[in-house]
């Protein structure tokens, strides 16, 4: 079991997930949290990762470092999404194993599942159909990461586990309209339209795709729960178990940001996967459930955005 004094490496501690893990573990009294500033360690560069592990010798690793982004970013930077992620995860998994890390948790994504997977999506649907083309670069990299963890467990009996979070949002999110995911993008669009008194906000696509959203602090809680209570080859979904349409999300954000104008749908922009809802019965069976209702999580994220994030996409 991870102890309060264990040496815990959070790879990607400046990202949405890594930062939430850092906050959560600190609050819980874990005192030896290891991080690597990006300027000092390029996780894509194997010799540097090797040196870092030799020097710091972590006991537990949360692998939350990845090149991430929304539907447009994936289409614009396919090499980064495939190659950077393959390099980062392979380096960290290999050197964790090599230096005797006791357990590693690899963070995947719900986009690893087939585009037309039955809903809600069970863990066993992995690799049963074609992927959604708009994010297959990222998905292929993440699937490789899962397989590498499973291969290490099978060949060497090493404790690598894989959590598959649904769409995430929360404090520390990215609000750049070109690269961000839908929830922060809409928060920013509605907020700016309110401030500038614009008559309408444009939402991409038809508004009909359905998505599930998990508050990132809940994910951090789930990751620590899994690190402590789960040790098996099978991947495990982390979500809320409920979804809503992009149109419903837009209306909710319109209400939270108190924007009085109209919503316009731009159907020339892609919809992506029609629905993405995870089956979380395996995680519920272990005794974990998400706590933060969507409206509350969005409210907290909005307050954070207004206070800290404006002007820093």
Q: Does 67 bind ligand GDP (CB under 6 A)?
A: no
As given in the structure block, the two tokens for residue 92 are 């960290």
Candidate residues 42, 48, 271, 300; the one interacting with ligand GDP per rule CB under 6 A:
271
Burial of 216 (0-12, 13-18, 19+ CB in 10 A): buried
The stretch among 75-83, 123-131, 205-213, 229-237 that binds ligand GDP (CB under 6 A) is 205-213
Q: Least distance from C-beta 194 to ligand GDP, angstroms?
A: 16
Q: Cβ of 312: how many Cβ atoms within 10 Å?
A: 9
Q: How far apart (Å, rounded) are the C-alpha atoms in residues 267 and 150?
A: 40
Distance of CA 58 to the CA centre of its chain: 22
The reply to whether 230 belongs to the active site is no
Candidate residues 15, 58, 205, 297; the one interacting with ligand GDP per rule CB under 6 A:
205
The stretch among 18-26, 30-38, 234-242, 268-276 that binds ligand GDP (CB under 6 A) is 268-276
Given the residues 30, 60, 97, 138, the one annotated as active site: 138
In 3D space, the residue among 182, 191, 188, 184 whose CA is nearest the CA of residue 170 turns out to be 184
DSSP label of 122: P
Candidate residues 71, 82, 139, 256; the one interacting with ligand GDP per rule CB under 6 A:
71
Q: Does 165 bind ligand GDP (CB under 6 A)?
A: no
Candidate residues 187, 246, 278, 294; the one interacting with ligand GDP per rule CB under 6 A:
246
As given in the structure block, the two tokens for residue 96 are 């964790």
**Which parts of 278-297 interact with ligand GDP (CB under 6 A)?**
none
DSSP string, 275-303: EE-B--HHHHHHT------HHHHHHHHHH
Q: Least distance from C-beta 275 to ligand GDP, angstroms?
A: 10
The stretch among 19-27, 89-97, 217-225, 266-274 that binds ligand GDP (CB under 6 A) is 266-274
Q: Which is nearer to ligand GDP, 227 or 246 (CB)?
A: 246
User: Using an 8 Å Cβ cutoff, are 3 and 25 in contact?
Assistant: no
Q: Does 251 bind ligand GDP (CB under 6 A)?
A: no
In 150-293, beta strands by DSSP E: 160-165, 167-169, 200-204, 210-211, 213-215, 236-238, 244-245, 262-266, 275-276
As given in the structure block, the two tokens for residue 41 are 């360690």
Q: How far apart (Å, rounded) are the C-alpha atoms in residues 108 and 55?
A: 27
Phi, psi of 203 (to 5 degrees): -105, 130
Q: Which is nearer to ligand GDP, 18 or 205 (CB)?
A: 205
Q: Which is nearer to ligand GDP, 8 or 201 (CB)?
A: 201
- Binding residues vs ligand GDP (CB under 6 A): 70-71, 111, 135, 167, 180-182, 185-186, 203-205, 209, 211, 246, 269-273
């Amino acid at each position: 079991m991870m102890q309060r004094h264990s040496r815990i490496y959070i790879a990607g501690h400046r990202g949405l997930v890594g930062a939430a893990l850092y906050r959560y573990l600190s609050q819980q009294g874990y005192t030896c949290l290891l991080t690597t500033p990006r300027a000092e360690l390029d996780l894509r560069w194997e010799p540097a990762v090797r040196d870092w592990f030799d020097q710091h010798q972590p006991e537990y690793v949360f692998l939350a470092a990845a090149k991430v982004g929304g539907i447009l970013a994936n289409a614009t930077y396919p090499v980064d999404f495939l190659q950077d992620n393959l390099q980062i995860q392979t380096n960290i998994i290999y050197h964790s194993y090599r230096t005797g890390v006791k357990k590693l948790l690899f963070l995947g994504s719900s986009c690893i599942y087939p585009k037309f997977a039955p809903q809600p999506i069970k863990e066993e649907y992995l690799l049963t159909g074609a992927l959604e083309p708009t994010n297959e670069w990222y998905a292929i990299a993440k699937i490789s990461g899962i397989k590498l963890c499973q291969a290490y467990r099978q060949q060497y009996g090493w404790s690598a586990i894989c959590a598959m979070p649904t769409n995430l949002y929360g404090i520390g999110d990215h609000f750049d309209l070109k690269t961000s995911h839908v929830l922060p993008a809409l928060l920013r669009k509605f907020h700016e339209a309110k401030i500038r008194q614009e008559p309408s906000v444009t939402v991409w696509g038809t508004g009909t795709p359905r998505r599930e959203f998990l508050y990132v602090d809940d994910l951090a809680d789930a990751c620590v729960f899994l690190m402590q209570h789960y040790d098996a080859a099978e991947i495990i979904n982390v979500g809320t178990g409920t979804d809503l349409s992009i149109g419903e999300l837009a209306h909710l954000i319109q209400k939270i940001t108190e924007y009085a104008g109209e919503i316009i749908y731009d159907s020339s922009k892609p919809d992506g996967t029609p629905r993405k809802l995870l089956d979380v019965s395996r995680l519920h069976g272990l005794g974990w459930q998400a706590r933060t209702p969507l409206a509350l999580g969005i409210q907290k994220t909005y307050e954070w955005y207004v206070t800290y994030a404006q002007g820093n996409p």
